[in-house]
Structure 1
Amino acid sequence: MTEDPRSIGQSASVVEAARLMREEHIGSLPITDDEKLVGMITDRDITTRVVAEAADPAMTSVGDVYSRDLISVEPDEDLDEALQLMARHQVRRLPVVENGSLVGIVAQADIALGANEKKTGELVEAISAPSEGERS
C-alpha cells in the first residue's frame, strides 16, 4: 500500500490533474474534499470525458469528469477481499479509507509483490477482460 497518496481537489483543472499524474507516474488520482475521499479521476476519465468530447482541459474541472462510483477498502481489509473487489470492478487501484479519510492506495503492483503468482495471474486476467460496455 502507498501511504499518504497524492490527491487533488474537485476545483482543480483537468490539466493540473494530468500534470500531477505525469509527475507521479500514476494513472489515477484520488479526489478529496477536506481529506475526505469523494472520488477518483483516471487517465481514462480524461480521455473519454474530456479529449473525446473536444472539451478544453484547462477550462474543465476535475469535478466535472471524475468517477463518483467509489470502490474502496479499509486498512484492515483482507488481501483476498481486495483482490476480489479489483477483479469484480476491473480496477487496478483501490483507495484505502479510514473513517471516510484517504489513508492510502493499494495497487495491482502491491498485490503482485505480496501475493503468489497464481493469484496475481488471476487478478490480471480478470481486470483485463473486456467490460460489459466494451463487449460486442
Structure 2
Amino acid sequence: MKARDIMHKGAQWITRDETLSRAAQVMDLIGVGALPVSDANGKLCGIVTDRDIVVKCVARGRDPTKVTAGDLCEGTPRWIDADADVDAVLHEMETHRIRRLPVIEHKQLVGMISEADVARHLSDDRVAEFASHIYADAP
C-alpha cells in the first residue's frame, strides 16, 4: 500500500502571505482543519491548523485579518512522496510526532494523510502502535 492509497485527495494549500482569516475561510469551505502553506515559488514551507489560528493568534489578542499563514509556519516542513510505502508514511509521522502529512507528486500537492486516514486504512494493531508513538509522553 502506498501513500496515495490512504491519502485524502484534493488537498489545497494557501500561500504564506494569506491571512489567517482567509485560511480559516478556506478550511471551512473545504471542511478541513489544516492547510499546507507554500512560498511564492510553490514550495511547501509549513502547515497551519485551526488550532494554530486559535491558540497562536486569537488567544494572544492578535488580529487574524493581519497575521499571515507564514507568520505561524515553524520548523522544517514534513511531506511524503505519493509513491512512498505506508511504512515510510508511518515512520515519518511517528518520528516527527505529526498528525497530518502532505502528499507530494512531481512537486505538486496531491493529498493529505491524517490520523483519520491511518485509522481507516490500517489494522487496529497498527493504528494502536501509531497512536502510542504519536501520543506517548505528549507535551
Fold similarity call, TM over 0.5: yes
In the alignment, the residues of structure 1 paired with residue 76 and residue 58 of structure 2 have an alpha-carbon distance, to the nearest angstrom, of: 21
- Of 68, 80, 87, 1:80 maps to 87
AA at the equivalent of 1:12: E
Shift of 1:79: 0.3
Q: In the alignment, is residue 58 of structure 1 matched against residue 65 of structure 2?
A: yes
Shift of 1:58: 1.0
Match of 1:123 in 2: 130
Q: Residue 14 of structure 2 aligns to a residue in which SS? A: coil
In the alignment, the residues of structure 2 paired with residue 104 and residue 11 of structure 1 have an alpha-carbon distance, to the nearest angstrom, of: 22
Q: Residue 119 of structure 2 aligns to a residue in which SS? A: helix
Change (3 A) 1:44 1:67: farther
AA at the equivalent of 2:17: S
Change (3 A) 1:130 1:100: farther
Shift of 1:15: 0.8
In the alignment, the residues of structure 2 paired with residue 113 and residue 58 of structure 1 have an alpha-carbon distance, to the nearest angstrom, of: 36
Aligned length: 132
Shift of 1:68: 4.3
Q: Deviations over 1:29-48 (max 9, x none)?
A: 01124543222111232233
In the alignment, the residues of structure 2 paired with residue 16 and residue 54 of structure 1 have an alpha-carbon distance, to the nearest angstrom, of: 17
Contact map agreement 1:15 1:58 (CA 8 A) in 2: yes
In the alignment, the residues of structure 1 paired with residue 137 and residue 24 of structure 2 have an alpha-carbon distance, to the nearest angstrom, of: 25
Match of 2:47 in 1: 40
AA at the equivalent of 2:135: S
TM-score (norm 2): 0.82
Q: Structure 2: where are the runs of 5+ without partners?
A: 1-6
Contact map agreement 1:96 1:104 (CA 8 A) in 2: yes
Q: Deviations over 1:90-130 (max 9, x none)?
A: 22211112343222212222222221110011112322234
TM-score (norm 1): 0.83
In the alignment, the residues of structure 2 paired with residue 111 and residue 120 of structure 1 have an alpha-carbon distance, to the nearest angstrom, of: 7
Shift of 1:81: 1.5
Identity %: 33
AA at the equivalent of 2:21: V
Mean CA deviation greater in 13-22 or 94-103 = 94-103
Contact map agreement 2:37 2:48 (CA 8 A) in 1: yes
Higher relative contact order (CA 8 A, sep 6+): 2
Structure 1 runs of 4+ aligned residues shifted over 6 Å read none
